[in-house]
Each structure stands twice: as C-alpha cells, then as structure tokens.
Amino acid sequence: MGFLHASIRVRDPKKSLAFYARLLGMKVTDKKSYMPGELVITLRSNDTGQSLRLMHYARNCELYKPYEKGDEMDHLTFQVPDARKAFNRLVAAGAPVAHGIWEGKDVTMGYVKDPDGIWVGLRSDNRKKKN
C-alpha cells in the first residue's frame, strides 16, 4: 500500500491554482471532472513528486455542500493492489462507508471514513490487470 495524494476543497479554483502553482511552484499535471459540477486539479511537487488535488464542487454537484471553515480536507487516497478487497476488509473491521466501490475504465475506487470522519480513498489501477 502506498500513499497516493491528499485532496483539499477549494472555494475559488483560480485563486488556489495561482497560490499552489505560481507561488509554491507546483506543476499542474491534470484537470478533469468525474461527475457534473466537479473540478479536480492535480498538482505535483517538483522536488518530492508528491501530489495535491484541488477539489471544487459547484452547486449542481452531488458532493456539493456549503463551504465552512474546517472543511478544507477533502480526502486522502492510498494506492492498493485490489481496491475492492481493501475496501471490504476495512468495512468488515468497522470503518464507515463514505462512498461505495465504483469501477472506471482505468481505476477501481472506494471510500471509507477514518475515526474523525475524513474520507480515505482506496484506489487500484485497472490498467495493470488488463496487461
């Protein structure tokens, strides 16, 4: 299991992008959305290679909720060999489900909550299974 990235909720993607990319020197490696109203900007540190995701949820997104101070941490994600197996193991051990397993073309993911309610993502790469 390896730590993959941390994600924070942002109110203004342009301001946050200017801060992390221009002022801190992180490089934008990806911009996408996985559902309507969502914007995910992935940045990578030039020095360490660690990733940070800026998550913005518009009002029409199913994950939207009014922004409150203290809601900045969105989720942590761990790369695992089998997301479904890791998810089921954690749920069986009592971890609350945050978002059930979903399978995309390239990845399988599921989210549980840690003891403080922070979402913890479990992600496996489906591309490796196909080769």
- Which domains, ranges and CATH numbers included, belong to the chain? 1-74 (3.10.180.10), 80-131 (3.10.180.10)
Q: For 58-111, what is each residue's pLDDT tens digit?
A: 999 999 988 777 778 889 898 889 999 999 999 999 999 999 999 999 999 999
Going by C-alpha positions, the residue among 66, 70, 114 that lies closest to residue 90 is: 114
What is the model's pTM?
0.70
| Nearest-angstrom CA–CA distance, 18 and 96 | 35
Q: What is the DSSP letter of 24?
A: T
